[in-house]
């Protein structure tokens, strides 16, 4: 199913006003507000005259994606399968923490080119970048399941900083006070460490929270686990994070997926602590969520043992670092971090 008509969702208000010209700006604002409410058709835009609604319907599409399936875990996690206009499928996940706070975990690419060894999405390769409407609509789809979503994390499928122009547009549409008005402080972008992207974000915003999937501070091991390290070396990455922090004044989250027997050693926690020194960070540890058939250098990946996890946490805390351990959510529906993707298909970033 290909779209022949331009799609209006996910456009920043200025771009929407431009595409709707010669309609006056206040009309664009009305359409923008209706889209933020998630109306199902132009016909529902009751403050527009009927002939105008019909004209818009002839010339434009409101949305470009549909919910193709939904699975729910008893722990409150809900995963949506979303079908895009060209038949591609992506996933978006709704997470609830112990205090009932709801977070939308969104994707930015169909697949991912970066091939981190612990990630199911990475096994699939990149199909294409999502456009701003496809990113924005994931939020609307999740909100149709749960009206009170407080936070957004870009930790779903794909590397957000490899799709920054479209992500920026989607963020502008999501945070505009004339529409959804979501707070930038409640939005976090998780990256595998794309130096040029972080630099770009520091210079031109938006000032959202930044999380780095560090995994280990040992450059050699990290290059083997996350090949993106080869073109984005850790010392340069640290410099650029430092600049980002100076610019944005926000604490950075360092995430580490713990892989049993691989990056839970003393030298890994030491290297992580060394990487963190001089930065203001919170460390978020993510015990690896099992995905069958995934290997590293011929060895099957396994979950870390309780002892490996507590030892790692203790060593970091002894060095004065603030550490949280991510609760496991959505395991039963393959909606946890590292598990996104169709059977035999893709994953997500180091999502919650
Ligand atoms: S962890 Fe993130 S960057 Fe790495 S392959 Fe998965 S989606 Fe891509």
* Predicted confidence (pLDDT) per residue in 188-217, tens digit: 999 999 999 999 999 999 999 999 999 999
Structural domains of the chain sorted by starting position, each given as residue range(s) with its CATH number in brackets: 13-59 (no CATH), 66-333 (3.20.20.70)
Q: Which of 324, 320, 218 is nearest to 264 (CA)?
A: 218
Does 78 sit in the ligand 1 pocket, CB within 6 Å? no
pLDDT tens by residue, 300-348: 999 999 999 999 999 999 999 999 987 666 666 566 556 666 443 333 4
pLDDT tens by residue, 36-63: 999 999 999 999 999 999 999 999 999 9
Q: Are 48 and 56 in contact, with CB atoms under 8 Å apart?
A: yes
* 91 is annotated as an active-site residue: yes
- Cα(322) to centroid of ligand 1, in Å? 25
Does 163 sit in the ligand 1 pocket, CB within 6 Å? no
Q: CA-to-CA distance for 301 and 265, rounded, in angstroms?
A: 15
Helix, strand, coil in percent for the chain, rounding step 5:
40, 20, 45
pLDDT for 351 beyond 50: no
Active-site residue (options: 91, 134, 137, 350): 91
* 337 is annotated as an active-site residue: yes
Atom number of ligand 1 nearest to Cα 156: 7
pLDDT for 74 beyond 90: no
Say what the pLDDT of residue 347 is. 37
pLDDT for 171 beyond 50: yes
Say what the pLDDT of residue 338 is. 64
- Across 136-290, the runs of DSSP E, i.e. the strands, are 151-154, 187-191, 209-213, 252-258, 281-287
| Minimum mean pLDDT range among 7-11, 101-105, 330-334, 348-352 | 348-352
Active-site residue (options: 112, 172, 337, 350): 337
- Cα(116) to centroid of ligand 1, in Å? 6
- Cα(346) to centroid of ligand 1, in Å? 10
Does 334 sit in the ligand 1 pocket, CB within 6 Å? no
Task: Report the pLDDT averaged over residues 64-75.
Answer: 94
- Cα(117) to centroid of ligand 1, in Å? 9
- Cα(43) to centroid of ligand 1, in Å? 40
Name the pLDDT band for 121 (thresholds 50, 70, 90).
Answer: confident
Does 212 sit in the ligand 1 pocket, CB within 6 Å? no
Q: CA-to-CA distance for 157 and 36, rounded, in angstroms?
A: 23
Does 158 sit in the ligand 1 pocket, CB within 6 Å? yes
pLDDT tens by residue, 237-281: 999 999 999 988 889 999 999 999 999 999 999 999 999 999 999
pTM of the model: 0.93
Does 145 sit in the ligand 1 pocket, CB within 6 Å? no
Say what the pLDDT of residue 328 is. 61
**Peptide bond preceding 164 in cis form (omega within 30 of 0):** no
Say what the pLDDT of residue 3 is. 58
Helical ranges in 20-120 per DSSP H: 25-37, 50-59
């Amino acid at each position: 199913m290909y779209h022949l008509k331009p799609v209006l969702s996910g456009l920043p208000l200025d771009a929407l006003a431009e595409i709707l010209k010669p309609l006056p700006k206040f009309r664009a604002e009305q359409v923008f507000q209706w889209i933020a409410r998630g109306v199902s058709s132009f016909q529902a835009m009751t403050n527009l005259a009927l002939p105008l609604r019909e004209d818009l319907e002839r010339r434009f599409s409101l949305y470009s994606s549909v919910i193709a399936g939904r699975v729910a875990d008893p722990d409150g996690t809900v995963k949506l399968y979303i079908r895009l206009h060209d038949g591609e499928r992506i996933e978006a996940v709704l997470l609830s923490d112990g205090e009932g706070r709801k977070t939308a975990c969104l994707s930015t690419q169909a697949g991912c080119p970066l091939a981190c060894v612990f990630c199911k999405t990475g096994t699939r390769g990149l199909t294409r970048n999502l456009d701003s409407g496809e990113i924005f609509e994931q939020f609307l789809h999740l909100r149709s399941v749960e009206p009170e979503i407080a936070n957004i994390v870009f930790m779903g499928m794909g590397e957000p900083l490899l799709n920054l122009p479209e992500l920026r547009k989607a963020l502008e549409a999501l945070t505009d006070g004339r529409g959804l008005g979501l707070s930038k402080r409640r939005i976090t972008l998780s990256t595998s460490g794309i130096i040029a992207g972080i630099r770009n974000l520091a210079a031109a915003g938006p000032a959202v929270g930044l999380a780095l999937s560090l995994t280990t501070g040992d450059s050699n091991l990290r290059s083997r686990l996350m090949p993106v390290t080869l073109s984005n070396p850790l010392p340069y990455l640290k410099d650029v994070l430092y600049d980002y922090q100076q610019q944005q004044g926000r604490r950075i989250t360092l995430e580490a997926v713990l892989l049993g027997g691989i990056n839970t050693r003393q030298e890994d926690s030491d290297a992580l602590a060394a990487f963190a020194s001089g930065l203001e960070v919170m460390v978020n540890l993510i015990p690896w969520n099992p995905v069958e058939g995934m290997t590293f250098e011929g060895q099957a990946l396994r979950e870390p043992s309780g002892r490996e996890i507590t030892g790692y946490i203790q060593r970091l805390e002894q060095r004065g670092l603030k550490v949280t351990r991510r609760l496991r959510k959505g395991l039963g529906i393959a909606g946890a971090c590292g598990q996104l993707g169709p059977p035999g298909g893709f994953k997500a970033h180091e999502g919650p």
